[in-house]
Structures are given as C-alpha cells and as structure tokens.
Amino acid sequence: MGDEIMEIGPLSEWVGALASFSAVLVALFLPYYQENKRNRKQVQRLKKFLAISQDKIINAENTEDKERDLKELDGFIKVNSLIAVEENKIKILEYSEQLFDLLKSEDGIDKPAVNEIMKKISLVK
C-alpha cells in the first residue's frame, strides 16, 4: 500500500503539454493585447490632432485661416463622436467640444482655459 510510486511520464509529454497550454494562453490574450494597443495609438492620434489644431487656430494669421481650421476641427469632433465607443476616447471628445467652444469665441481666445483643457486631454489614458 505505501510503496506505490507515481509516474510523471516522459519529458516530451510535459513539453508538449506546456506548449499546448502556452498556445491557448496566446490565443486567448493576443486579441485583447492587440485591441488595447490599437486603442492607445488611436488615443495618441486624437491628442496629436487636437494639439496641432488648437495651435493652428490660436496662431492663425487671418480670420479665413481660423475659420477653415475651426471647421476642420468641428468636423473631426463630430465624426469621431459618432464612432467612439471607448470611454477614454469619449472623454477626450467631450474635452474637445469644450476646446472648440473656447477657440471659436468671438471675444478672443482664453489661452489659460485652452491650456487647462489641453492638460486634461493629455491626462486621459
């Protein structure tokens, strides 16, 4: 009774089982990793576009350029608002709408307020 020995099997079976287990883990988590990576890149592109747009609008040399850039920013926000489903993108677009309202102000651009919104946008992960 007490002299029973448990066989663990050959090493090749253990290596095969470990390889199978690893393949299952990769198959389960690779799509999540790729989606997360894609989302991070999209968020970076959103932030970059907003930074470039606000800079162009603030430094526009004439009202025609400013109006064109405002129209481009407005279209960008509207299109992305329709397709954004991730919480971080939605938050960035909410800030973008506030930014747009500040930039189109007829009373001049409140640069400290614009900088504050840009700071909030940069903190979104």
- Written as one string, the DSSP assignment of 12-31 is HHHHHHHHHHHHHHHHHHHH
Confirm whether 61 is domain-assigned: yes
Confirm whether 55 is domain-assigned: yes
Percent of the chain at pLDDT exceeding 70: 98
Confirm whether 60 is domain-assigned: yes
Confirm whether 16 is domain-assigned: no
- CA–CA gap between residue 29 and residue 82 (Å, rounded): 28
Confirm whether 50 is domain-assigned: yes
Which residues constitute the domain of residue 84? 42-123
Mean pLDDT of the chain: 93
**What are the pLDDT digits (tens) for 60-93?**
989 999 999 999 999 999 999 999 999 999 999 9
Place of tokens 């932030």: 47
Confirm whether 105 is domain-assigned: yes
Number of residues in the chain: 125
Q: Could you give the number of structural domains in the chain?
A: 1
